A and B are shown apart, each in its own frame.
Chain A
């Protein structure tokens, strides 16, 4: 694979049970690029991220990584009752480095504190995660994903439940990743945010409807192909019809 690429998927298809969820997905993600992954519910956004990180097998096609990938999943509300604090959750990102049978080192604890500081959560490091707000929880999960130290960061709807400050913080973090030559793929329902903040946009609806810079992909034809009738054109502003709930 080209050394300039962080990720290449080629003709990737993924099945969940009998159903083909992703069909013939071909993407090249350059190093240092932030890719927005948008599409309607059930478009296969989460499935694509899971396949890239290796949780789901490819039915056909290939996935190549130019390094390692880390992942920030969506977390069900039940998980937050768990008796862990923000620092312990951030530390989970270092578990693979620590290896089996060993606890994370003092150095790793220091790095986890730094990661929390990077998302403005160092003051709440010892707070039980259930006592954090929605935006704060997303920041802790982001810190954990960054702790994995990978060249490609996959974020599954990190902006859901995020307040304005958290959203700004994600933008900052993405800028930092770019500077370090790391890449990110970030799934979201927020079209205007992706249009402003992402280098590339992937419109997904089971297959790739459009892939390229936002100005090329956010046109009526591509949007209609991905979203069907749920895109409304209101005086030149495209809005999405309200959606019931998030996919899982």
Chain B
């Protein structure tokens, strides 16, 4: 029992625990759309694109989460606007902006030699660094993400399933796409402290992909992904505490391990001889 309670004597661990719970929920809920719409690349791009925002905010002594959020939103808008024309595909627009923004971050960092260690912490996460104000912002962002998905789930799911029908029904598809990208940016910002810039993508993809393996219902998938993200975050956090390894890496490895365990279980079940009855349709594809 003390394995579970001991770490919580430390205030930084209490804050870290809240941070990974928020990360898991926000990323899990949105991750369902990232996975179903094949937005992994755009998610990856946004995680990298927020980097210059972090550096600028850091140098200016402002909230790095706010800096990341603003730059992320600008990038999301840029991708959407550039890929609207027929000559530049979305993939290409993402590639251009993501590399360009990350390069800007690299150039900025190289000009601020003394801060390099701190910035490295943002790239790889530093759970010790979660401040009370970080938590407040992450909490607010999680609330916005969960609330928006709850309120706009029918529109988001229609667009994801059948974009053309959404257009035919005169939904403002472009605006709703931007809103979704903005929410993904928010989820990324929530995860920044605990997971780190580079590994955030895993939280957007892996729990949702795991959830998709075990359900054929969108809402169940979203709830499962949020629960998995939160649980994996907590487990990873404890692992990082007791083994003294980086929190972001421990959390992502935990969710990767869960994905493979579930994947193997589902495949084994599928390949089992047909003679034995399969419990009702959950796993069927």
Contact = CB atoms under 8 A, between A and B. Distances in A.
Interface of A: 17, 50, 53-55, 70-71, 73, 75, 79, 81-85, 88-89, 92, 95-96, 98, 100-101, 103-104, 128, 130-131, 144, 148
B168 A82 contact: no
Given A83-B36, A83-B218, A83-B221, A89 B161 contact: yes
B154 A98 contact: yes
B217 interface: yes
B155 interface: yes
A79 B215 CA distance: 16
B117 interface: no
Contacts of B151: 101
A128 B216 CA distance: 6
A84 B221 CA distance: 11
Interface in B97-146: none
Contacts of B86: 17
B169 A96 contact: yes
Contact of B160 (A70, A82, A103): A82
| Chain A facing B: main interface SS | mixed
B77 interface: no
Contacts of B218: 82-84, 88
B284 interface: yes
10 contacts: A54-B168, A70-B168, A71-B168, A83-B218, A85-B216, A89-B161, A95-B158, A96-B170, A130-B216, A131-B284
A85 B217 CA distance: 8
Contact of A71 (B165, B217, B281): B165
Contacts of B154: 92, 95, 98, 103-104
- Residue from B168, B169, B221 with most neighbouring chain A CB atoms (10 Å): B168
A83 B282 CA distance: 11
B267 interface: no
A130 B285 CA distance: 7
A230 B150 CA distance: 52
Contacts, number: 68
A73 B216 contact: no
| Chain B facing A: main interface SS | helix
B285 A50 contact: no
B164 interface: yes
B157 interface: yes
B212 interface: yes
A95 B36 contact: no
Given A70-B168, A71-B165, A131-B284, 10 more contacts: A71-B169, A75-B164, A83-B218, A88-B218, A89-B161, A95-B155, A100-B155, A101-B151, A128-B281, A148-B169
Contacts of B89: none
B36 A82 contact: yes
A92 B36 contact: no
Contacts of B217: 83-85
A17 B84 CA distance: 12
Interface in B11-43: 36
A101 B151 CA distance: 5
B165 A73 contact: yes
A89 B155 CA distance: 12
B216 A53 contact: no
B92 interface: no
B15 to A, nearest CB: 34
B158 A83 contact: no
A73 B221 contact: no
A88 B161 CA distance: 11
B162 A73 contact: yes
A47 B146 CA distance: 37
